[in-house]
Each structure stands twice: as structure tokens, then as C-alpha cells.
Structure 1
Amino acid sequence: MNRRPFLHAMLGAAATTLALLCTPAQAQDALSQVMQTKKIKIAVPTDYPPYGFVGLDLQPQGLDIEVAKLIANKLGVSVELVPVTSANRIPYLQTGQVQLVISTLGKNPDRMKVIDFTHAYSPFFQAVYAPKSLAIKSFADLGGKTIAVAKGAMEEQELVKSGPASMVFKRYEDQAASTAAFVAGQTQVIATSVSNAGLMMQKNPQLGAEFKLLIKDSPNFIGVAKGQDALRAKVNDILLAARKDGTLDKLAQQWLGRPAGDLPLSE
């Protein structure tokens, strides 16, 4: 009897069993690793104001940066901020290059198949912006106002539902063109995303532009690798406490011009 194939089969089965036994333990190591090394690696944006961008001192700043520092502080560890793009932020998490992703990450069914999410930590929204000197307290106040929008943009579609028929839309080819028109004083108001507004206000402080009205909200969540339940639970505890004591509202007010509000919790 040739025992070699049988031996190979037995060794293969043993290796498979060992791998299966080790996988859950390895998957739960992230929080332990963070606490042992006293450092957490967090993916953040550095080209997406007001959530994450490089300041005049060449250091990352923004809402996502502050939330990353908050979590590290509450864990009692140092933080290594890892700049990412929209395309590589999830792969960085899946390959273990970071333990968390705090980078304007929305939750959807496709992403939920490959990573897990904490509670929401901040809003992401489309809104109406105008100079501080222009009184706009409600959608009715947009009557007769000239509003810069990108052609076919969701902002215009939503405003038509809420605002008066006397709104005057000035339609431009894209978001960059509508922003340039508002900055040049060709319109009184602009309807755009908070990220675009953040960049606009950062580059043009002389405008005195500010958040006026919320058009539509889409919250941001923190990404955690699949199986990292202990780390996810710990981060959720930190976010709940920050929500209760008003920290999340203060950060959102500072960077977005409005409180975080009633953010959704993870399942």
C-alpha cells in the first residue's frame, strides 16, 4: 500500500483545520495589537476639506482628523494618520495596513459585504450656502434669489421640492463652474456638497460664506475590518459617549457649520 497520498491528504486536512481554528483568533487581534503597541493606524483623507486636508503648517487637519485623534486619546494610545484616497481606503483596511478608516465613508450594501461599520460619527450633506450678510432662515427665503447649481445636480432637484417657484437657478456645466460663478459674485447663493463648500470657503475666506439650509443628509461611518468585533465595540462606546457629551456636535459645528444631530447607530 502506498501511504504517501494518504499521508499528504491527512497533512492537508490538518493544515486546513489549523487554519480554520486560527482565523477567528487572528481576526480578533486588532484591539489587542493596538493596546499592546500603544498605537493605532487610522486611514484619513488629506485632500477633502473640511473632513481632511493639509493645513498651512503642512499637518493634516479637519473633522475626520479630529475624530481619529479623539478615538486614539480615549483608547490611551498614539495615532498614526495614514493618508488615503477614495479608491484605496477600503483595501488598506482589508490588508491590515490600518485598523480603522475615518475618511467620509458612507455605508451601502456592497461595502457591508467586505467591511464592517461603527455608529455614524458625522453628517455628509448637500446644502445651501451664502454670505453671512444674506438672511436665509428657511426655504421660503430663497424666493427671488439667484442660485448657482451644476447642471442636472441633485441639489437643484431637491430644492425644487422644498423652495418657492420664484427661485432663479443659474445652471453651470459642473460643480467647479458653479462654484467659480458664486465666488465671482454672479449668484447670491450656491447649492452644493459640504466638501465642495469646505474647499470653497477655505480658498475664499473673503466671501464670508456660511451654511444656511440643509438639502439632504448622508452620514459618515468608521470602517472596521470584518471580524474585528472587539475593536468595533470599543469604538462604538467612544462614539456613543462623544455623542452624549456633545463632542460630536461641537466638532461638526466647528468644521461643517452645523451640529452632528441625530446620527444613525450601527446594527
Structure 2
Amino acid sequence: MNRRQLFRVAVTAMALSGLGAFAHADTVANLKSAGKMRVAVLQDYPPFGSVGPDMKPLGLDVDLANMIAEKLGVTAEFVPVSAPNRIPYLQTGKVDVIIASLGKNAEREKVVEYSKPYAMTFNGVFGPPDVKVSGPEDLSGKSLAVTRGSTQDLIISDLVPKDAELKRFEDSTGTQAAYMSGQADLFVTGNITAFMVAKDAKRPLETKFKLNDEGAYVGAVKGDTAFISAINEAIDALKADGKLNELSEKWLGEPAPANL
């Protein structure tokens, strides 16, 4: 390739980059023009996202989405997703934003623009008192229920011994059911979900060991920094007026961490 050809390639790349930045910069304006923001939410991950008796979505993520939408001057329109398809829905334009208890990892950061965290939890391995496990090395020969494509799945996959069995399910409801019915020895999930499952006396569970602390983030298309900045401004405002703390107390049963 000669210099002229190289120059043309460079100019074309710069132009496309500029067009992409311009399109991203218009996201908030486009949402306002449409009057709505399409939000990916989970329906099987209480208290962040579930379905109420009226068949409408409810949970911390739903309340937060409505608050952010109000700050942006639009209405939140909820689109049900699962843990595996929430990012593909964003990438293919089926939703404008993900507010679905989205954790952060290096692989996702390649395709998702993250907001500041709006909640803090931890992921871990949980199970009944009679299953003696205190670390990854004790998982040998054990079966573990985990939601496919979740942050927990990505972490535990790198930790389990070769003779441990990961039983992956398509959504959190299936994962919980598998543990409760005894299909798996252990349950890999977030502490909030584990706390709620523990209320069911059919099969108790306790924390075996922690995998990591995890924030919940709003996710937008990679490179759409203007949109994320607007979302961060909304989150900051919700922190300042105490509404984010109210959400934490309402849905998680405790105040938001001071360092959130």
C-alpha cells in the first residue's frame, strides 16, 4: 500500500470515528425526541429485578431506571432480558441501556461503557451446613449451580478443580430451583439472592466463601461517554438527595456503603 492509499485509509478511519462520536453525543437528545429510554431489566433476580402480582417489573433496578429516566426528561420502557442476552440486546440496539444488576469485568469492558456503581454486593459460593467447603480447593467432586453468562459463572469457571461439575442454567430462577431441589450441592450467586433463598426452609444455605465484592452498574454502548456522563450526573444527584440510599434500604435492607 502506497502513501496515498495509507492517507486515504487514515482519513476514512478518522471520519468514521468522528461520525461515531457524533452519533453517541446525540443519544440523550434522541431519547428525549423519542420520549422514552428502553431499559434492559432482569425479571428473575430479586430484589434487583422481578415481576409483581400485576405482572409489571419491580425491584431496585426498576426504581433506579425510573429515577434516571426522570432526570433525563424521558420515560423508562422496560425490556425483559436474561443474564446471557442483556449485552447482546444492547449491542444490537434492542435496548438503549442496561440496568440489570450488571457487574464489571475486563471482558465486558471491551463492549460496554460503565457508569459509576449504584449498589454494592458480593458474589460467593453458598450451600447447606453439612457440605464442608471453605475455599476453591474444597470444590473437588462437588456440583455447583450457576447462571450461564453471569459474573459468578465467569469467576467460578476459573477456580473450580477439574473434577467439579458446573451446572449452568439460563436464568436465576432456574439456578435457584436447581439448588433448592438438590440438583446441585452448592449455589454460586450474589449474597442478596442467597439471603432471599435462605428464607425457604426446604433447603438452608450459608456462605461458604466469598468470590469478590461487586458493584452494580448501568451499561451503555461502548464509546458512548456522553450518555454515561449524563447517567453519572443522575446517579450523583440521587446520591446527593438521599434517594439512592433510600433505594438501598428499601430493597437491600441496609444503607448504601459510604464509599459507593
Q: TM-score range by the shorter chain?
A: 0.5 to 0.7
What's the CA shift for 1:68? Answer: 0.7
Instruction: Kindly indicate whether the alpha-carbon contact (under 8 Å) linking 1:51 and 1:63 is maintained by their aligned counterparts in 2.
Output: yes
Instruction: Kindly indicate whether the alpha-carbon contact (under 8 Å) linking 1:150 and 1:173 is maintained by their aligned counterparts in 2.
Output: no
What RMSD in Å do the two structures reach over aligned CA positions? 4.0
Secondary structure of the structure 2 residue equivalent to 1:125: strand
Does 2:45 match 1:64?
no
Q: Deviations over 1:117-175 (max 9, x none)?
A: 01001112258x9xxxxxxxxxxxxxxxxx738664xxx449xxxxxxxxxxxxx9656
What's the CA shift for 1:15? Answer: 7.8
CA distance in 2: counterparts of 1:178 and 1:86, whole angstroms: 18
| Greater mean alpha carbon deviation, residues 78-87 or residues 91-100 | 91-100
Secondary structure of the structure 2 residue equivalent to 1:200: helix
Specify whether residues 100 and 151 from structure 1 end up closer, same or farther in structure 2 by C-alpha distance, changes over 3 A only. Answer: farther
Could you tell me which amino acid in structure 1 is paired with residue 216 of structure 2?
Answer: N
What's the CA shift for 1:196? Answer: 2.6
Instruction: Kindly indicate whether the alpha-carbon contact (under 8 Å) linking 2:37 and 2:75 is maintained by their aligned counterparts in 1.
Output: yes
CA distance in 2: counterparts of 1:225 and 1:38, whole angstroms: 19
Count of residues in Structure 1 that have an aligned counterpart in Structure 2: 211
Could you tell me which amino acid in structure 2 is paired with residue 148 of structure 1?
Answer: P
Q: What is residue 219 of structure 2 aligned with on the other side?
A: 223
Q: TM-score, normalization: structure 2?
A: 0.66
| Greater mean alpha carbon deviation, residues 245-254 or residues 190-199 | 190-199
CA distance in 1: counterparts of 2:45 and 2:29, whole angstroms: 31
Q: What is residue 43 of structure 1 aligned with on the other side?
A: 40
Instruction: Kindly indicate whether the alpha-carbon contact (under 8 Å) linking 2:39 and 2:77 is maintained by their aligned counterparts in 1.
Output: yes
Structure showing greater Rg: 1
Instruction: Kindly indicate whether the alpha-carbon contact (under 8 Å) linking 1:41 and 1:99 is maintained by their aligned counterparts in 2.
Output: yes
CA distance in 2: counterparts of 1:149 and 1:252, whole angstroms: 32
Percent identity of equivalent pairs: 33
Secondary structure of the structure 1 residue equivalent to 2:129: strand
Q: What is residue 144 of structure 1 aligned with on the other side?
A: none
Secondary structure of the structure 2 residue equivalent to 1:218: strand
Could you tell me which amino acid in structure 2 is paired with residue 226 of structure 1?
Answer: K
| Greater mean alpha carbon deviation, residues 190-199 or residues 96-105 | 190-199
Q: Deviations over 1:32-77 (max 9, x none)?
A: 1011111111111011111101111111111111111111111121
Q: What is residue 196 of structure 1 aligned with on the other side?
A: 193
Specify whether residues 13 and 249 from structure 1 end up closer, same or farther in structure 2 by C-alpha distance, changes over 3 A only. Answer: closer
Which of residues 115, 119, 137 in structure 2 aligns to 1:118? 115
CA distance in 2: counterparts of 1:39 and 1:96, whole angstroms: 14
Q: TM-score, normalization: structure 1?
A: 0.64
Could you tell me which amino acid in structure 1 is paired with residue 89 of structure 2?
Answer: Y
Could you tell me which amino acid in structure 1 is paired with residue 231 of structure 2?
Answer: V
Query: Structure 1: 5+ residue runs without aligned partners?
Result: 1-10, 130-146, 159-171, 182-189
Secondary structure of the structure 2 residue equivalent to 1:23: helix
Q: What is residue 106 of structure 2 aligned with on the other side?
A: 109
Specify whether residues 15 and 218 from structure 1 end up closer, same or farther in structure 2 by C-alpha distance, changes over 3 A only. Answer: closer
Does 2:242 match 1:246?
yes
Instruction: Kindly indicate whether the alpha-carbon contact (under 8 Å) linking 1:27 and 1:228 is maintained by their aligned counterparts in 2.
Output: yes
